């Protein structure tokens, strides 16, 4: 009893340490069922109201789509996205790379937006970083994939760039949280989250079974804690510390790339906005006219996505204690129940349907070599209607209790 109480108190103290805690992976086609690469970012941020914005091609640049902060009224920064050429980029903040005293900082979103407008390949991104005026104003791990089989992480501070190609990894994938392999030893954050992800990835990669469905459905909703060597999803209340999903999580995104020689039109960004255990995935297709679901975009004259708003509302049910340090305490029993009626369980059932319907449409487009815009519009309309009804029902259930 006293040992368990001491552990709980220790976790509460550690939980007071704050850092934006993203978890990510760059996955080669060597460990996916269909040979297509994947770029995963489980995003934590200070701005929990995220939206998806489509950027048209201007002045010779590429068109692209990406996640933008709710407070970014002019969409000056992008925090994960991909472009018409099949190039995709994301980042995690690093806290063990900076080695100078420059005050220029937090420009990762600016770098990624520019990259999406001008980069076709991983090598293009390398050149962009090399040519960027110093100091760059970043301390980050940038993950990138392209339509030619390129996949890599770039660990970048104001003056230095270190590249890690996934082709050199015997595992077929690379992981990053909030420290860099080229940085100062034992500094930074996210060591336990890295271990959580590594434990989840290893057996699935060995079976060449890493998919977008698994990344959003399992990894971004996993309450496995490697240091304590147990899954907390069956508990009633838990301290929200060192899990992949956290109170500060604002999105989970998986860019599913294309195989070399395949059209980049079929690149897909599987998008979960809000707190993943209380949200659901929707596909984003830049290659067709109606491929960005309205539920992911700003609506009603606001800069907020309806799906993100609904997810954040449900998250309050998972973190119901608002006074003091209440946001550190997760009511797990509202997410998972023995009878399968928990919030996360209901939304996972819906997510399986979303993937099935979306993949049928994607497979049809790949087979024919082009998108049927009318079919895309109709299918996404039907999917969004069911998503809307499901959230309305679950929110009503929570308000009646």
- Residues 127-150 have pLDDT tens digits of 999 999 999 999 999 999 999 999
Question: Residue 112: which region, alpha, beta or left (left: phi > 0; alpha: psi -120 to 50)?
Answer: alpha
Query: Could you give the angle at which helices 343-368 and 306-318 cross, rounded to 10 degrees?
Result: 150
Structural domain total, the chain: 1
pLDDT at res. 142 = 99
Query: 401: pLDDT confidence band, cut at 50, 70 and 90?
Result: low
Positive/negative CA dihedral, 92, 95, 101, 106: positive
- pLDDT above 50: residue 18: no
Mean pLDDT of the chain: 95
pTM of the predicted structure, to 2 decimals: 0.95
Tell me how crowded residue 159 is: count the other CB atoms within 10 A of its CB.
12
Residues in the chain: 401
- Domain assignment of residue 256, given as a range: 2-400
Q: Which helix (H) or strand (E) holds 242?
A: none
The torsion angles phi and psi of 225, rounded to 5 degrees, stand at -120, 110
The torsion angles phi and psi of 348, rounded to 5 degrees, stand at -65, -35
- pLDDT above 70: residue 5: no
Query: 398: pLDDT confidence band, cut at 50, 70 and 90?
Result: confident
Residue pLDDT, tens place only, 230-246 = 999 999 999 999 999 99
Q: In angstroms, how far is CA 59 from the centroid of its own chain?
A: 29
Q: What is the CATH number of the domain that holds 37?
A: 3.60.60.10
Extract long-range pairs of 163-166: CB within 8 Å, 24+ residues apart.
163/126, 165/122, 166/26, 166/27, 166/28, 166/37
Q: In angstroms, how far is CA 100 from the centroid of its own chain?
A: 30
- pLDDT above 80: residue 164: yes
With a CB cutoff of 8 Å and minimum separation 6, the contacts of 326 are 319, 320
- With a pLDDT cut of 90, the percent of the chain lying above it is 93
End-to-end CA distance of the chain: 32
Residue pLDDT, tens place only, 165-182 = 999 999 999 999 999 999
């Amino acid at each position: 009893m006293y040992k368990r109480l001491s552990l709980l108190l220790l976790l509460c103290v550690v939980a007071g340490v704050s850092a934006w805690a993203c978890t990510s992976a760059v996955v080669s086609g060597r460990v996916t069922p269909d040979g297509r690469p994947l770029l995963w970012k489980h995003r934590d941020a200070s701005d929990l109201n995220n939206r998806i914005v489509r950027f048209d091609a201007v002045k010779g640049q590429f068109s692209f789509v990406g996640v933008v902060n709710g407070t970014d009224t002019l969409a000056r920064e992008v925090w994960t996205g991909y472009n018409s050429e099949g190039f995709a980029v994301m980042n995690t903040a690093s806290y063990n790379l900076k080695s100078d005293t420059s005050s220029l900082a937090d420009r990762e979103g600016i770098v990624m937006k520019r990259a999406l407008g001008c980069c076709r390949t991983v090598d293009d991104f390398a050149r962009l970083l090399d040519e960027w005026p110093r100091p760059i104003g970043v301390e980050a791990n940038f993950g990138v994939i392209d339509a030619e089989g390129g996949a890599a992480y770039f660990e970048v501070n104001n003056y230095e760039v270190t590249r890690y190609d996934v082709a050199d990894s015997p595992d077929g994938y690379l992981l990053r949280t909030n420290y860099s392999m080229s940085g100062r030893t034992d500094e930074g954050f996210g060591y336990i989250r890295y271990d959580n992800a590594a434990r989840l990835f290893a057996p699935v990669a060995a079976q060449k079974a890493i998919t977008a469905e698994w990344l959003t459905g399992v990894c971004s909703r996993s309450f496995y804690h490697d240091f304590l060597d147990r899954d907390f999803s069956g508990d009633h209340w838990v301290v929200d510390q060192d899990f992949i999903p956290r109170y500060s999580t604002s999105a989970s995104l998986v860019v599913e790339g294309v195989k070399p020689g395949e059209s980049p039109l079929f690149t897909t960004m599987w998008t979960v906005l809000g707190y993943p255990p209380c949200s659901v995935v929707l596909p984003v297709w830049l290659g067709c006219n109606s491929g960005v679901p309205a539920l992911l975009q700003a609506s009603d004259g606001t800069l907020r996505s309806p799906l993100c708003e609904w997810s954040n509302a449900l998250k309050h049910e998972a973190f119901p204690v608002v006074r003091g340090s209440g946001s550190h305490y997760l009511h797990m029993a509202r997410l998972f129940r023995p009878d399968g009626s928990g919030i996360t369980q209901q939304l996972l059932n819906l997510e399986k349907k979303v993937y099935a319907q979306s993949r049928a449409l994607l497979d049809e487009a790949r087979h024919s070599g082009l998108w049927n815009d009318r079919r895309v519009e109709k299918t996404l309309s039907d999917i969004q209607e069911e998503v809307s009804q499901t959230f309305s029902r679950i929110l009503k259930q929570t308000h009646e209790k």
